[in-house]
A = this chain, B = another copy of it.
Amino acid sequence: MISKIKEEIERAKTIALISHKSPDGDSLGSVAGLGQALMEMGKEVTLFVNDKIPEKYEFLAEKNPYVLYKKGMGKNMDLLFVLDCGQASRLDYSEEILNEAKTVINMDHHMKNPNFGHINWVDTDISSTCELVLELINKLKLPLNYAGTTALYTGIVTDTGSFMYDNTAPKTLRAAAELLELGVDKDRIYREAFQSRNIKEVKLLGEVVKDLTPLFDGRVALSSLSQEKLKAYDLDIQAMDELIDFTRDIAGVEISVVLKEMENGGTKIGFRSKNAYRVDSLARSLGGGGHEKAAGATVKMNLAETEAMLIKALEELLQ
């Protein structure tokens, strides 16, 4: 497979890279990291995004010329890398690019990736697509510059929670060490991706946790964000990501749950668990999904109904 990828890269003159919508550190980092290596080789490279870059990753755009994909833009591409994209549908409106490019290479670390590329390299044991890209770069001895190492480091640290999550393996730490040795703008990464809380979110988090009383002998932290509250702080449903991790990390709390009222009246539910309980089955039973320790669902109930339903469901789970 590696030799096939090598052949495709050698043959290609124009190469595009793209990843999933709602970009994160690993999608933006892998596209830029591999893209920089290909640019250093002298290829004509386009780094596509299909969505707004979140504020905390805007620094990556300073050194990496991301282009917003529009229909047809993939037609002149000899080769397309789709990175960190567990399903073709996660490309959203840019899914058409799969038919535009001549050859599609799918590199990913998500479970159940259906191998939608012509060549597929899916490794579910690896921390991040950035770690996988670094493996490719090393195996093919591709050149790596400062923008590239910084992009790859960004993906590794954001997907591992700065090496705190279970997906951190010895080789993950060694990959990070290798990048750090080559030179990485580590201060900038941490400053932007980890040290840039939105002041409005900080204040709303304060309001919520000030009155938080964990349920079930302190084992469950449940917080609800109404539309009214979000609007009072000028925030939308995408905001307040930090709250669920913040409340999980309370002594004694095993599961944290955050409910967000949607504009249509439904409720978005997020679950986090420390170690003792799995939250994925509960999320799946509500039509959602996720991992053992991080899962979610969207239900057609209002906030109060969802709370009542979950308190029953959590009581069963805790038994």
Nearest chain B CB to A314 CB, angstrom units: 18
Are B210 and A203 interface neighbours, CB within 8 A?
Answer: yes
Are A190 and B164 interface neighbours, CB within 8 A?
Answer: yes
Docked complex Cα distance between A207 and B208 (Å): 9
Are B210 and A206 interface neighbours, CB within 8 A?
Answer: yes
A161-172: CB near B (< 8 Å → 1, else 0) gives 111101011111
List the B side residues contacting A194 at CB < 8 Å. Answer: 164, 249
Q: Which residues of A are at the interface with B, using a C-beta cutoff of 8 A?
A: 55, 157, 161-164, 166, 168-174, 176-178, 180-181, 186-187, 190-191, 194-199, 202-203, 205-212, 214, 218, 246-252, 274-275
Docked complex Cα distance between A24 and B169 (Å): 25
Are B177 and A171 interface neighbours, CB within 8 A?
Answer: yes
List the B side residues contacting A250 at CB < 8 Å. Answer: 196-199, 202
A249-B197, A251-B199 known; A209-B214 Cβ under 8 A: no
Docked complex Cα distance between A186 and B209 (Å): 27
List the B side residues contacting A203 at CB < 8 Å. Answer: 209-212
List the B side residues contacting A195 at CB < 8 Å. Answer: 248-249, 274
Docked complex Cα distance between A176 and B171 (Å): 10
Are B174 and A177 interface neighbours, CB within 8 A?
Answer: yes
Docked complex Cα distance between A208 and B205 (Å): 11
List the B side residues contacting A181 at CB < 8 Å. Answer: 170
Are B177 and A173 interface neighbours, CB within 8 A?
Answer: yes
List the B side residues contacting A274 at CB < 8 Å. Answer: 191, 195
